[in-house]
């Protein structure tokens, strides 16, 4: 075998050894959680004239969760039983150790930095407005770059299902970058929430297709029909995220309208007395 073919086979063996369903479900749950939270938070914020103190505390809790959750993800990637345990290379030949885990840790690192900037922006007015959105956009862009080179030399189905994820990732990065200049634009923040939900659900979809956690037949990696179906399935995920946003926005509107009616009735009763 040529040196190049041995290198490709080595990469494939490393991928097969390290990739698993949990490695996709963990970041998928992370993105889905934040996407769903944003799909509720921003419609309520948009429909409300003033935010009360309780909502401020809730938003601060979200920022702290963002800042603290990412280091937990980094530690999980490093110190799982078959993780690198902070070793980047080892042995006399200085072979790389668990580069996939290191890539995931790098992704969590930038999302953690984004969370820290988010907290600092909330706590100190001296921090320039928009820096939190810029750092979040950088974190999403880093995620996209890592995943772009993450799937080289993999089977066709594996490459395709990950490349579909990049649509949501880079679309989200561009949308968040626009938020630096168009602060609190409801269309942009809802689009961000939509792309984050799609990332979350599609991470789970990747894990199910590649690793069959609940059993079932293995997907044929060379069948073009599977490529066609997964492309279609990706846009079903997108449609589902739009439906979630629609439902949450409608519920926020109904909740706000009901609260306004109660306040008006309360004011009318006081004036009646």
In-domain check, residue 270 = no
Query: What is the average pLDDT across 1-16?
Result: 40
- Model's pTM, two decimal places? 0.78
Which domain, by its residues, includes 109?
3-261
In-domain check, residue 269 = no
In-domain check, residue 268 = no
For residue 192, give the nearest of 159, 218, 170, 224 by alpha carbon: 170
d(CA 27, CA 33) in angstroms, rounded, equals: 10
In-domain check, residue 273 = no
Q: According to the model, what pLDDT value does residue 38 have?
A: 92
d(CA 171, CA 196) in angstroms, rounded, equals: 10
d(CA 117, CA 126) in angstroms, rounded, equals: 12
% of the chain with per-residue pLDDT over 70: 76
d(CA 163, CA 143) in angstroms, rounded, equals: 12
d(CA 191, CA 169) in angstroms, rounded, equals: 12
Q: According to the model, what pLDDT value does residue 1 have?
A: 38
Statement: residue 198 has pLDDT above 90? yes
Orientation of helix 186-211 relative to helix 156-181, angle to 10°: 160
In-domain check, residue 266 = no
pLDDT bin (cut points 50, 70, 90) of residue 270 is low
In-domain check, residue 226 = yes
> How many domains is the chain partitioned into structurally?
1
Token pair of 70 as six digits: 């990412």
In-domain check, residue 36 = yes
In-domain check, residue 95 = yes
Query: What is the average pLDDT across 86-105?
Result: 76
């Amino acid at each position: 075998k040529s040196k190049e073919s041995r290198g490709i086979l080595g990469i494939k063996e490393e991928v097969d050894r390290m990739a698993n369903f949990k490695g996709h479900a963990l970041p998928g749950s992370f993105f889905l959680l934040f996407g769903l939270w944003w799909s509720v938070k921003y419609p309520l914020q948009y429909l409300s004239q003033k935010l009360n103190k309780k909502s401020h505390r809730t938003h601060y809790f979200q920022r702290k969760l963002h800042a603290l959750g990412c280091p937990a993800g980094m530690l999980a990637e490093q110190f799982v039983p078959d993780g690198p345990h902070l070793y980047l290379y080892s042995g006399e030949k200085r072979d790389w150790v668990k580069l996939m885990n290191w890539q995931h840790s790098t992704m969590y690192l930038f999302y953690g930095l984004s969370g820290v900037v988010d907290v600092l922006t909330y706590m100190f007015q001296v921090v320039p407005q928009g820096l939190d959105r810029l750092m979040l956009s950088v974190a999403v862009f880093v995620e996209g770059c890592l995943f772009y080179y993450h799937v080289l030399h993999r089977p066709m189905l594996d490459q395709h299902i990950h490349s579909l994820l990049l649509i949501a990732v880079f679309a989200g990065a561009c949308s968040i970058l626009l938020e630096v200049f168009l602060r609190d634009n409801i269309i942009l923040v809802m689009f961000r929430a939509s792309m984050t939900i799609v990332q979350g659900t599609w991470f789970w979809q990747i894990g199910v297709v590649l690793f069959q956690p609940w059993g079932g037949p293995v997907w044929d990696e060379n069948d073009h029909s599977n490529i066609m179906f997964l492309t279609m399935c990706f846009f079903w995920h997108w449609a589902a995220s739009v439906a979630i946003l629609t439902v949450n926005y409608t519920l926020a509107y109904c909740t706000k309208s009901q609260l306004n009616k109660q306040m008006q009735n309360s004011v009318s009763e006081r004036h009646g007395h």
